[in-house]
Amino acid sequence: MRLAVILRDRCNPSQCSYECMNFCPVYRNNEDIFSLDHKGKPIISESLCIGCGICVHKCPLDAVRIINVADDMREDIIHQYGPNAFRLFRLPSVHKNSVVGLLGANGVGKTTVVNIFSGKIIPNFGDFESEPSWDRVLERFAGTALYSYFKDLADGRIKTVVKPQYVDLIPRYYKGTVRGLLERADETGKLDVIVEEFGLKNLLNRNLTKLSGGELQLITIAATFLKDADFYFFDEPSSYLDIVKRLFVARKIRELSEHANVFVVEHDLAVLDFLADIVYILYGEPGAFGVVSNPRHVRNAINAFLLGYLDSENVRIRDYEIMFEVRPPKAQEEPGEVLLEFKDIHVKFESGFVLEAPGGKLYRGEIVGVVGPNAIGKTTLVRVLAGEITPKRGMISVEATISYKPQYVKIEESGTVEDYLMGILGIEYTSGFFQNEILHPLGLKKILHKDVANLSGGETQLVAIAACLGKPADIYLLDEPSAYLDASQRMEVSKVIKRIIEKRKASGLIVDHDIYFIDMISDLLLVFTGEPGVHGRANGPYDLHRGMNEFLRNIGITFRRDPDTGRPRVNKPGSKLDREQKIKGEYYYIA
């Protein structure tokens, strides 16, 4: 079966000479293979397409995809958005009293799955020209486990609630305080209980516009728990949260699954492993099509995802494996040149929060990971080093140029991604180094002609990372680069950052909450301790073995290692392994 896909956000008639049409051998023979839609964009007749691929290579905007998939997939199509548009094949099932995880790249259908199960989309089974109907859905799933679910959903007997992905957009749509938002969401009468459990008491009178990303995330999750529903959907609940809050939310979601159906879209693999019971992997080509795999136990699913091969389907979803080191890498015997040194940093805000950083050095050729709870001063220190905040006292010696990516990325310029990057980087944008080492590995060539105002959260993050790494610098400061990226993108970004810093003989300081990401990217760790919102202290940098032990000891969490991939897995608190590792003082690596 052949799929012809036109990526509408890239197809721009004003910048196009219709080379895709004019070079097609079938079109030149007067076959009616091409037509134009109401916006003047090409539509390809898939029944007439011979799959030569010429139009793919001739399109100057990389907006055309010709994809061959197995003929037996034809009966599995669940939804198609329009002519030559994204298609979803297959659906997960409903597993009562279990947390069902959805794992896969951005753009392969996870949100479509959520929208179908929440009732926002009625599946059309590829017939996008006809009005979809629940009668057709029920006819299609008659005799299957999904029939009763969709029957109840169609009849209004199932109530669903979705925790949205982009929580930073909430202040745009709701004006007011945290208390007002939670009171409006409360359908269970448990407002006081939820406020206490989630530790929101001190935030109730705060305006939503004054909250951090982590605070917005926690409040949005709390509002979801206050809804009285039968089916709960959590779209990336861990974004912006530190590991303690991530595991707290994971435990609460597991409790919720005891009396309701729960679907979770999650890219933090350590959290997904702790959270989910059953996982469906979604694979395909982002923006073109997505396929829902067979269900797997969470451990097997994550291992298959990391290995890049689904054995039961005999499908390879990635051409390389992702493995983890069970022992920390050896420390560099001869540190490079000191690029930055800080000592006795003291910052105090009007809110009363105090940051102390006794001292540290950044050496050429090293990457320092920064870990610690939210609201404990990590971003503050990065902004001090970047020159955005002047400390009350302390010494900063910088004999280097700095490139900085902030925690919250807002691109306010107009124009395309290419316009934005050229404006930031100038002549550096055209260099072979930037094109081959940054732009192509980050997958940004596909969105160069997309307007920056229409970028998704993940796309915006990748553009900001590219802009930061594209500047020739001695020190790269990146604050939460993994936010809104899918698991595969996080792995790729970690490799790109390491490669750029190595080739430029630079240094890096990386703040992030994803343990896997920090594990893959760091040579050393800066560990923050203190009381969130009151006092923070930067300790280190330490070698990875000591740093991980210090960090995890402070929050009381231990990790074991998966025997197949070496990946860290969270131990259940109080379990035999948890107790044994705490006694030995080995919280993360094997000594």
Calculate helix-pair angle for 243-256, 213-225, nearest 10 degrees.
10
In 3D, which of 481, 555, 570 has the Cα closest to residue 240?
481
Tokens found for residue 244: 């303690």
- Check: CB of residue 238 under 8 Å from CB of residue 271: yes
420: domain CATH number?
3.40.50.300
**Which pLDDT does position 140 carry in this prediction?**
92
322 part of a folded domain = no
Tell me, rounded to whole angstroms, the distance of Cα 460 from its chain centroid.
11
363 part of a folded domain = yes
DSSP 317: S
Are 397 and 262 contained in the same domain? no
- How far apart CA 345 and CA 398 sit, in angstroms, is 14
In 3D, which of 591, 535, 533, 582 has the Cα closest to residue 555?
582
Strand partners, 67: 3
**Which pLDDT does position 64 carry in this prediction?**
82
490 part of a folded domain = yes
Element (H, E) at 152: helix 145-154
**Which pLDDT does position 475 carry in this prediction?**
93
573 part of a folded domain = yes
Q: What's phi and psi for 320, nearest 5 deg?
A: -150, 155
Are 479 and 560 contained in the same domain? no
Q: How many domains does the chain fold into? A: 4
Are 483 and 418 contained in the same domain? yes
**Which pLDDT does position 222 carry in this prediction?**
94
- How far apart CA 559 and CA 576 sit, in angstroms, is 12
- How far apart CA 87 and CA 92 sit, in angstroms, is 15
Are 310 and 363 contained in the same domain? no
- Check: CB of residue 364 under 8 Å from CB of residue 334: no
- Check: CB of residue 61 under 8 Å from CB of residue 10: yes
Q: What is the pLDDT of residues 491-515, one digit of tens each?
A: 899 999 999 999 999 999 999 988 8
In 3D, which of 239, 224, 250, 96 has the Cα closest to residue 161?
224
Exposed, middle or buried by CB within 10 Å (0-12, 13-18, 19+), for 316? exposed
Q: What's phi and psi for 150, nearest 5 deg?
A: -70, -30
For residue 230, give the amino acid letter.
D
Are 297 and 444 contained in the same domain? no
Residue whose tokens read 């136990």: 297
**Which pLDDT does position 288 carry in this prediction?**
86
Grouping H, G, I as helix, E, B as strand and the rest as coil, residue 344 is strand
Q: What angle do CA 136, 140, 144 make, to 5 degrees?
A: 135
- How far apart CA 143 and CA 346 sit, in angstroms, is 67
**Which pLDDT does position 28 carry in this prediction?**
64
In 3D, which of 165, 169, 147, 162 has the Cα closest to residue 224?
162
Its domain, for residue 50, covers 2-68
Are 520 and 446 contained in the same domain? yes
**Which pLDDT does position 555 carry in this prediction?**
85
Q: What angle do CA 207, 209, 210 make, to 5 degrees?
A: 70
Q: What angle do CA 59, 63, 65 make, to 5 degrees?
A: 95
Are 420 and 534 contained in the same domain? yes
549 part of a folded domain = no
- Check: CB of residue 568 under 8 Å from CB of residue 515: yes
Are 92 and 64 contained in the same domain? no
Tokens found for residue 333: 């015997």
Taking the CA atoms of 510, 515, 520 and 522 in sequence, report the sign of the dihedral they define. Answer: positive
Are 404 and 434 contained in the same domain? yes
Residues of the chain with pLDDT under 50: none
Helix, strand, coil percent content, the chain, rounded in steps of 5: 35, 25, 40
Are 395 and 349 contained in the same domain? yes
Where b means 16+ CB within 10 Å and e means fewer, 117-147 reads bbbebbbbbbeeeeeeeeebbeeebeeeebe
Q: What's phi and psi for 422, nearest 5 deg?
A: -65, -35
Q: What is the pLDDT of residues 422-475, one digit of tens each?
A: 999 999 999 999 999 999 999 898 888 888 888 888 899 999 999 999 999 999
In 3D, which of 403, 365, 400 has the Cα closest to residue 382?
403
Cβ neighbours of 150 (radius 10 Å)? 23
Contacts 24+ apart (CB under 8 A), 553-562: 553/585, 553/587, 554/527, 554/529, 555/243, 555/244, 555/373, 557/243, 557/244, 557/247, 557/587, 558/582, 558/586, 558/587, 558/588, 559/270, 559/515, 559/587, 559/588, 561/324, 561/326, 561/590, 562/299, 562/303
Residue whose tokens read 């960090």: 551
Grouping H, G, I as helix, E, B as strand and the rest as coil, residue 401 is coil
With a CB cutoff of 8 Å and minimum separation 6, the contacts of 569 are 270, 273, 274, 299, 559, 560, 561, 562
386 part of a folded domain = yes
255 part of a folded domain = yes
Last residue of a domain, one of 254, 283, 316: 316
**Which pLDDT does position 445 carry in this prediction?**
86
Tokens found for residue 282: 């979604």
Are 519 and 590 contained in the same domain? no
Q: How many residues does the chain have?
A: 591
74 part of a folded domain = no
**Which pLDDT does position 155 carry in this prediction?**
92
Tell me the DSSP string of 28-71.
Answer: HTT-TTEEE-TTS-EEE-TTT-----HHHHH-TT--EEEEE--G
Are 260 and 377 contained in the same domain? no
Element (H, E) at 283: strand 278-285
